Structure 1
């Protein structure tokens, strides 16, 4: 007779076991418990988006980190100019080849065939009077940014040099265009054509991290999903965030303590931790506490027993792989044979 059932944390699994094996002891999956903790902490961090931005702006990183703050580097700013120069150089080389072949007596049609170019291009080069025909700039029509150019120049003179921040200001004034248009406008103000003496020192602040990264920094070790070791900059960010929003410090302490309890399998300390979690100021943590209390016997069994749902999850993943390999190409009988007789 089945006495212990290791299961996932979904309520449907609990109800199914209660109906089929009412006397069996249920054990909640430990990995799912950690995953549920992470989900609730990330929901809190998503809600604290402005605080994350404020904390990131207070951290001076050890090296220049180009991120969402939109800091421009000289290489990225002049890329559109370099592309135009490369195209002009290629066209100039082609022009010299055409004129050299023409000087040797070649016909326009023959030159076009030899260089694999259109005969009309050859005629344009030859009839240019010995001058390289520069391409005319296309006439630019009105754009959504035109009414705001004076404001951008005014803010530029005042020292506002970051496209991301200017774009945010323009949106508050009714601008509906893209961020790229604002960046191009600021780029031309920073690096006018023919003037390369202007040097802009970028502000070395941290880009706004994702909620998943911040959760990994909370634990003080490698993230569960992102392989990135924590650095001193990360710790300064966490300290700044805790100072801005004190509830974050409480949530961080609860998360670190829960991870330690899970490793030590301490049921007595878990009960005290659950009481603290139920009184946390963050609504996400109180909901997590309610979720744990609703499945408390199985959660407590996860601390007491060595049983795990890991082997079951492995078989489920293998079954999903086989099913997806045969999607739309076989019936249930073939799937059954591949599961029971993999060789």
Structure 2
């Protein structure tokens, strides 16, 4: 607008500012820079917003609890989507102090959750144990998945491969697609899996030597021929 008041043409203003002639014309027609407002997008939470607002006003600000209730009402999206939309849509500062219901943290990533599932419970730190408990209470299917993973880990730690068939039957009845895919892979080489879960012998020593050989080979890549590589490998072992 200042350039226009100084007598610049629309073309000159566009060249000066670095925008197109039509954009300059539109801005001048408005008399000011037209503020852009992005259109509001409808989300899966919108249909449940009256219910959520009622629960929020009643004093429940526990996101995990609200998510469980939405799942029972047919909500299909993720916890993170619901969490983000509630923070955007519900008013702030209206927590009912008379009713204690703390805001729960955002659940862990899938990778972090997998590590919690696979580690021994006694090895977890207090905050990790709390996160695992919260995660298991989010959905009955998560609790079932945790129990099945724990059973397989126990078979591996205690060398009780004779329990594999009963575990596979539970997987088939669980309707958990990811675990059923894993069970299908186990079925393809079941004898080897049973041996791995039962016998004390393993190929850890062989894999360690293979890893060492590959490291030496990569360290010498492009530096010398096969004769030097052979001497280094023989010297290493």
Shorter-chain TM-score tier = 0.5 to 0.7
2:229 maps to which residue?
Answer: 335
User: What is the TM-score normalised by the length of structure 1?
Assistant: 0.38
Within the alignment, does 1:280 sit opposite 2:177 as a pair?
no
1:264 maps to which residue?
Answer: 158
Q: Is the 8 Å Cα contact of residues 218 and 238 (structure 1) preserved in structure 2?
A: no
| Alignment partners' CA distance in 1, 2:198 and 2:84 | 53
| Alignment partners' CA distance in 2, 1:150 and 1:295 | 54
| Alignment partners' CA distance in 1, 2:170 and 2:39 | 56
Within the alignment, does 1:312 sit opposite 2:211 as a pair?
no
> Aligned to 2:138, what secondary structure does the other structure show?
helix
- CA deviations 1:150-178 (Å, max 9, x no partner) are 99xxxxxxxxxxxx958x98xxxxxxxxx
> Aligned to 1:209, what secondary structure does the other structure show?
coil
> Aligned to 1:279, what secondary structure does the other structure show?
helix
Q: Is the 8 Å Cα contact of residues 278 and 290 (structure 1) preserved in structure 2?
A: no
User: What is the TM-score normalised by the length of structure 2?
Assistant: 0.53
CA RMSD of aligned residues (A): 3.6
Q: Which of residues 90, 112, 120 in structure 2 aligns to 1:221?
A: 120
**Residue 301 of structure 1: how far off its partner (Å):** 1.1
**Residue 329 of structure 1: how far off its partner (Å):** 1.1
**Residue 220 of structure 1: how far off its partner (Å):** 5.8
Higher Cα Rg, which structure: 1
| Alignment partners' CA distance in 2, 1:258 and 1:271 | 11
Counterparts of residues 180-195 of structure 1 (less than 5 Å): none
**Residue 221 of structure 1: how far off its partner (Å):** 3.2
- CA deviations 1:208-241 (Å, max 9, x no partner) are 422121123334637xxxx973525313422332
**Residue 305 of structure 1: how far off its partner (Å):** 1.8
> Aligned to 2:202, what secondary structure does the other structure show?
coil
More divergent stretch after superposition (248-257 vs 208-217)? 208-217
**Residue 149 of structure 1: how far off its partner (Å):** 8.4
Residues 340, 302 of structure 1: alpha-carbon distance in 2 compared, 3 angstrom cutoff? same
**Residue 315 of structure 1: how far off its partner (Å):** 0.8
| Alignment partners' CA distance in 2, 1:206 and 1:239 | 14
| Alignment partners' CA distance in 2, 1:342 and 1:304 | 33
Q: Is the 8 Å Cα contact of residues 266 and 303 (structure 1) preserved in structure 2?
A: yes
- CA deviations 1:176-203 (Å, max 9, x no partner) are xxxxxxxxxxxxxxxxxxxxxxxxxxx8
- CA deviations 1:65-121 (Å, max 9, x no partner) are xxxxxxxxxxxxxxxxxxxxxxxxxxxxxxxxxxxxxxxxxxxxxxxxxxxxxxxxx
**Residue 273 of structure 1: how far off its partner (Å):** 0.9
Within the alignment, does 1:290 sit opposite 2:184 as a pair?
yes
Q: Is the 8 Å Cα contact of residues 323 and 335 (structure 1) preserved in structure 2?
A: yes
- CA deviations 1:280-315 (Å, max 9, x no partner) are 211111111111011011111112322111111111
> Aligned to 1:148, what secondary structure does the other structure show?
coil
Query: Which structure has the highest helix share of the two?
Result: 2
Q: Is the 8 Å Cα contact of residues 219 and 255 (structure 1) preserved in structure 2?
A: yes
2:108 maps to which residue?
Answer: 209
Residues 228, 235 of structure 1: alpha-carbon distance in 2 compared, 3 angstrom cutoff? closer
> Aligned to 2:106, what secondary structure does the other structure show?
coil
2:136 maps to which residue?
Answer: 239
